[in-house]
Amino acid sequence: MSSAVPEDVGVVGGGRMGAGIAQVFAVAGARVSVVEGDAAAADAARERIRAGLDRAAERGKLEVSAGEVLDRIAIITDPADLPRAAGLVVEAVPERAEVKIEVLTAAERAVGEDTVLATNTSSLSIAELSAALSRPERFLGMHFFNPVPASRLVEVVTGPDTGTAARDAVLDWVGALHKTAVTVRDSPGFATSRLGVLLGLEAIRMLEEGVADAESIDTAMELGYRHPMGPLRSTDLVGLDVRLAIADYLHGTLGERFSPPQLLRDKVARGELGRKAGQGFHRWE
């Protein structure tokens, strides 16, 4: 088994996650084709990737120049132009099943029989997405974390039809990106969202009940359990609206323990969405 990334990689959606995914594969030596919706979105994606590479260069994280990496990345607006020889295509379009199915089926038509298709979904069912594909054995979840270049984890999510060859190839490529893969069976919230959201919801319930203030709850977990960040601060970073949407989904699929606390609903209704809004469970300057 080789420990290199594929020579050609496709990334569909060049937003926050797609730009980071394109960056890490290009830094690892792949030629990357990023598919965006239209010319304006393509320009925005190019700028996002350029900014990410500049940041990496400033921090001394690039062994070659940002320009050299950028030269390996093409932005295209038609998935039919994805390279047929691509070893892997990862989609990172918005979290809506119908949009993901549209781009995955278009990508599947463009590439060869051996290409692995992956979704960066944080919560959608791999089985549901793969039902629309003609080669479900070549499809799985590759759940990257934000920010992609700095994050060390990729959750590899296998659906009911994912073949071992596709899974093993992806595990190998994650290693070539110098990241660690955990393999998780397709199930609501995978491993990370299911555990992370549950901890966050319990912390919010403790705040509601007046067990302690937000700073104390976070400090308790940071110092007592060595979590790098307490559950309320982490909810602020993810976004309270994002957490609420995932909690609602997990409540419906996994049951009452994921029922979102009223305080979370109230804060989202008031626009206190976390760091991006300047206010969540903590104040952000």
Ligand X SMILES: NC(=O)c1ccc[n+]([C@@H]2O[C@H](COP(=O)([O-])OP(=O)(O)OC[C@H]3O[C@@H](n4cnc5c(N)ncnc54)[C@H](O)[C@@H]3O)[C@@H](O)[C@H]2O)c1
Residue nearest to ligand X (CB): 15
Q: Does 12 bind ligand X (CB under 6 A)?
A: yes
Among 6, 10, 14, 260, binds ligand X (CB under 6 A): 14
Angle at 21 between CA 6 and CA 23, to 5 degrees: 85
Would you count residue 37 as binding ligand X (CB under 6 A)?
yes
> In residues, how long is the chain?
285
Are 184 and 191 a contacting pair, CB within 8 Å?
Answer: yes
Q: Classify residue 229 by its DSSP letter.
A: S
Binding ligand X (rule: CB under 6 A), the pick from 93, 156, 184, 217 is 93
The one among 121, 158, 162, 235 contacting ligand X by CB under 6 A: 121
Could you tell me how many residues of this chain bind ligand X (CB under 6 A)? Answer: 24
Per CB under 6 A, the list member of 95, 172, 222, 248 interacting with ligand X is 95
Phi and psi at 44, nearest 5°, equal -65, -40
The CB-side HSE value for 66 (13 A sphere, CA atoms) comes to 16
**Interface stretch with ligand X, choices 93-101, 176-184, 246-254, 264-272 (CB under 6 A):** 93-101
Closest CB to ligand X among 18 and 231? 18
Candidate list 146, 216, 259, 262; residue touching ligand X; CB under 6 A: 146
| Among 12-20, 56-64, 132-140, 168-176, the segment contacting ligand X (CB under 6 A) | 12-20
Binds ligand X (CB under 6 A): choice among 5, 82, 103, 244? 103
Burial class (CB in 10 A: 0-12, 13-18, 19+), 147: middle
Q: Does 16 bind ligand X (CB under 6 A)?
A: yes
- What's the rounded Cα separation, in Å, for the pair 197 and 235? 8
Exposed / middle / buried, residue 59 (Cβ in 10 Å: 0-12, 13-18, 19+):
exposed
99 near ligand X, judged by CB under 6 A: yes
The site string for ligand X over 40-59 (x = CB under 6 A, - otherwise) reads -x---x--------------
Identify the H or E element spanning 247.
helix 240-254
Binding part of the chain for ligand X, among 116-124, 152-160, 223-231, 249-257 by CB under 6 A, reads: 116-124
**Per-residue CA distances from 234 to 119, 133, 147, 199, 248 (Å):** 24, 35, 14, 10, 18
Asked if 252 and 213 count as a contact pair (C-beta separation under 8 A), the reply is: no
Q: Cβ 40 to ligand X, closest distance in Å? A: 9
CB nearer to ligand X: pick between 206 and 247: 247
Q: Does 120 bind ligand X (CB under 6 A)?
A: yes
Stretch that binds ligand X, among 33-41, 62-70, 153-161, 267-275 (CB under 6 A): 33-41
Among residues 5, 10, 11, 18, the one that binds ligand X under rule CB under 6 A: 18
Are 214 and 273 spatial neighbours (Cβ–Cβ below 8 Å)?
no
17 binds ligand X (CB under 6 A): yes
Q: Are 116 and 130 in contact (CB under 8 A)?
A: no
Q: Is 60 left (phi over 0), alpha (psi -120 to 50) or beta?
A: left
Residues within the interface to ligand X (CB under 6 A): 12-18, 35-37, 41, 45, 92-95, 99, 103, 120-122, 144-146
